[in-house]
Chain A
Amino acid sequence: MIEAILITLSITILIGLVLGYASIKLKTTGDPIVDKIDKILPQTQCGQCGYPGCKPYATAIANGEADINQCPPGGDDGIHKLADLLGVEYKPLNAEHGEPKPKSVAIIDESTCIGCTLCIQACPVDAIVGAAKQMHTIIEKECTGCELCLPPCPVDCIDMQVIPETTENWKWKYPIYKIEQQN
């Protein structure tokens, strides 16, 4: 009788120790599904989805609080990828959150800028350089085109400029052939 209890007890303690050790040593930091969703999101950080950035939106999707069709910059492709990842049905983009736009960058009209620093504070990726009462400028390479710098500007000196197609960023198009009717 006592032997049986002892054996059971020792097994329990052993398993307990192993599990305890594993829970500390093999702990996953962060939620892997959030990272996977975040990887699909375009990282524009525009907040059109209703969350203050891509990571918070990814977290909300993972928690089932947000739908997969709230990201206009991600577009249709992004929704398809999210649907594939999460094993849910594809839905068209929710128009409440805006429409997909061509990729653009913000341009500051430097002669109008008064140097108020409001846009610098609004930029989610620190892509605006400038100081108080000094002209500001945008690092075009880092700009995600989120448009968050537009509303705070008191003199309306920021414009969104669509990135033009050049021979460098040009892509081969999907082959489409006109069907000609034979007479």
Chain B
Amino acid sequence: MNISDKIFKFFGGIKPEGHKQISTRNPIKRLPLPKELIIPIRQHVGKMPNIVVKIGDRVLKGQILAEPVANMSAATHASTSGYVKEIKPMNIPHPSGLPDQCIVIETDGKDEWIRLKKIDIENISLSNLLEKLKHSGVVGLGGATFPSHIKLNANRIQTLIVNAAECEPYITCDDMAMQEMTQDFVDGVNLIMHILNIPKTIIGIEDNKPQAISKLNSVLDSSKNIHLKIIPTVYPSGDEKRLIYLMLGVKIPKEKRPTELGIQVFNVATLISIARFINYGEPVISRVVTVTGALGQPNNYQALIGTPIQQLIKDAGGDPSQEVIMGGPMMGFKLPHTDVGVTKAMNCLLAVTDEMKSKASTEMPCIRCTKCVEVCPAQLQPQELYWHAKSKQFEKLTDDYKLFDCIECGCCSYVCPSNIPLVQYYRYAKSEIREQAKSSEIADIARDRNEFRLFRLEREKKERAERNAQRRAQVSDEDKKKLIEEKKVAIEAAMKRVEENEE
């Protein structure tokens, strides 16, 4: 099968300074075992898993701390052996700064594994494998943390696309992982192709990673239909829809998923963790994190999930009081607290540079230059979105300007000469619109329940009236007289008793 080498350029995009070299000079580093690990229970999109350990329990490395409760859920594991010290809401790396349920593990330094069982991929049914994956804690490690077993529950996939673009400045964790864990990565690709019966794979990688490219070229066997496609460095080529277009020239229609068109996309780190789970039985207990920015020695770390990020920052030559962004400079968010642990979503910790600070502080009015229109990869009208979000005209945003097609890539904010934080306006508008939709749903239920109650009361009234009428009709006149007589006798008897008593 021949895959054309043509690269389909998408509309818009920007070419920011990469800043990638600063964190790729040294190999991936490991920190000594931290004294305590802060592991948030929910590190994925979906339902909160069910905690299965108690305070004081001894847990082993790789032991399940919380079980998935529904299909849209994933397990959370202990990243080393030790004791469960606390289970309580604590700070998590989330833009809200709100706490969520966490487990604190006091490590015992032994780093003792549970018994790991590799999976016999040739002799396992797909449903069994998916069930196992659900308990493996494998989620999309590109940052979206979508449970992987759901993505593997697809059929008729024609093309597997590996997202190795890593288009956001500063982030280098996938680059380093491909260089150092090449075999696991290729195993992951082969396993997914085997599981889903996919005939061909294209790895999309930006041309700013020459080392990873040459390493992959040396191991990849093109007869197996795994192709490496080197794409120019344009942000946001790593966005799923942009990448699919770059690779295949296919545009995914609105409200359709790539799987419906026979395409599945996996990120590098996710493939590595799938390979490690199937080949060695290892659940997700660590990930590669890029620690970079305004620090002494930026580096990549193979960090255990739950490692306090302050230790990483300190080791990279930073100051724990520094402002830190989780994710990249384009799509990341400022961490409200730095007393949090590493999570599966944490691909990068970026210490804020002075340049970023100066940009954030001066917002000026929109001058309608439409520079943002030229770079918007979703081909929206960012300036109109901004006006309507600012004036809270939400209906126009969804109906006329397709706000929900916005991928929040930040290209518009990057080029804005007035330094307007455009994406923040879109995020605000999106969450308001979602909230309104939810409350109108709740209101509809309340209306139905109220209407049914009024109907029920009416019905009960009618039924009671009918019952009374029926009873009255059944009793004949003689019976009525008799009843009255009986009552009279009873009353007289009672009066007599009272009189006797008084005497």
Binding site for B on A (CB under 8 A): 38-39, 41-45, 53-55, 124-127, 142, 144, 165-167, 170-175, 177, 180
In the complex, B155 has a CB within 8 A of chain A: no
Interface contact A173-B443, CB-CB below 8 Å:
no
> In the assembled complex, which residues on chain A have CB atoms less than 8 Å from the CB atom of B453?
124-126
Given A43-B447, A171-B428, 9 more contacts at CB 8 Å? A43-B443, A43-B446, A124-B453, A126-B449, A126-B452, A142-B449, A167-B92, A167-B94, A171-B431
Question: Can you list 5 residue pairs at the A/B interface with Cβ under 8 Å?
Answer: A55-B447, A125-B449, A172-B427, A175-B425, A177-B363
Interface contact A125-B450, CB-CB below 8 Å:
yes
CB-contact partner of B98 in A54, A127, A142, A165, under 8 A: A165
A175 CB → nearest B CB, Å: 4
Interface contact B94-A173, CB-CB below 8 Å:
no
| Closest A residue to B444 using CB positions | A43
Q: How far is the CA of A175 from the CA of B431 in the complex (A)?
A: 13
Interface contact A170-B425, CB-CB below 8 Å:
no
In the complex, B95 has a CB within 8 A of chain A: yes
Q: How far is the CA of A166 from the CA of B92 in the complex (A)?
A: 12
> In the assembled complex, which residues on chain A have CB atoms less than 8 Å from the CB atom of B100?
166-167
B133 CB → nearest A CB, Å: 25
| Closest A residue to B419 using CB positions | A177
> In the assembled complex, which residues on chain B have CB atoms less than 8 Å from the CB atom of A53?
450
Q: How far is the CA of A41 from the CA of B424 in the complex (A)?
A: 29
* CB interface residues, B 402-437, toward A, < 8 Å: 421, 424-425, 427-428, 430-432, 435
Interface contact A171-B98, CB-CB below 8 Å:
no
Interface contact B428-A167, CB-CB below 8 Å:
no
Q: How far is the CA of A180 from the CA of B94 in the complex (A)?
A: 27
CB-contact partner of A170 in B98, B361, B439, B450, under 8 A: B98
Assuming the A-B contacts A166-B100, A173-B428, are A142 and B452 also in contact, with contact meaning beta carbons closer than 8 angstroms in the complex? Answer: no
> In the assembled complex, which residues on chain B have CB atoms less than 8 Å from the CB atom of A39?
440
| Closest A residue to B98 using CB positions | A167
Q: How far is the CA of A124 from the CA of B439 in the complex (A)?
A: 18
> In the assembled complex, which residues on chain A have CB atoms less than 8 Å from the CB atom of B444?
43
| Closest A residue to B42 using CB positions | A167
Q: How far is the CA of A130 from the CA of B174 in the complex (A)?
A: 57
In the complex, B96 has a CB within 8 A of chain A: yes
Interface contact B98-A144, CB-CB below 8 Å:
no
Q: How far is the CA of A174 from the CA of B429 in the complex (A)?
A: 8
| Closest A residue to B95 using CB positions | A172
A173 CB → nearest B CB, Å: 6
Q: How far is the CA of A62 from the CA of B444 in the complex (A)?
A: 20
> In the assembled complex, which residues on chain B have CB atoms less than 8 Å from the CB atom of A54?
447, 450
> In the assembled complex, which residues on chain A have CB atoms less than 8 Å from the CB atom of B98?
165-167, 170
Interface contact A125-B446, CB-CB below 8 Å:
yes
> In the assembled complex, which residues on chain A have CB atoms less than 8 Å from the CB atom of B55?
none
In the complex, B445 has a CB within 8 A of chain A: yes
Contact with A along B91-106 (1 / 0, CB 8 A): 0101110101000000
> In the assembled complex, which residues on chain B have CB atoms less than 8 Å from the CB atom of A125?
446, 449-450, 453
A140 CB → nearest B CB, Å: 12
Interface contact A45-B95, CB-CB below 8 Å:
no
Interface contact B96-A175, CB-CB below 8 Å:
no
Interface contact A172-B424, CB-CB below 8 Å:
yes
Q: How far is the CA of A54 from the CA of B435 in the complex (A)?
A: 21
| Closest A residue to B425 using CB positions | A175
> In the assembled complex, which residues on chain A have CB atoms less than 8 Å from the CB atom of B447?
38, 43, 54-55
> In the assembled complex, which residues on chain A have CB atoms less than 8 Å from the CB atom of B452?
126
Q: State the 6 A-B residue pairs at the shortest beta-carbon distance, nearest first.
A: A43-B443, A171-B431, A43-B446, A172-B427, A125-B449, A170-B96
Interface contact B446-A175, CB-CB below 8 Å:
no
CB-contact partner of B435 in A124, A144, A171, A175, under 8 A: A171
> In the assembled complex, which residues on chain A have CB atoms less than 8 Å from the CB atom of B435?
171
Contact with A along B450-473 (1 / 0, CB 8 A): 111100100000000000000000
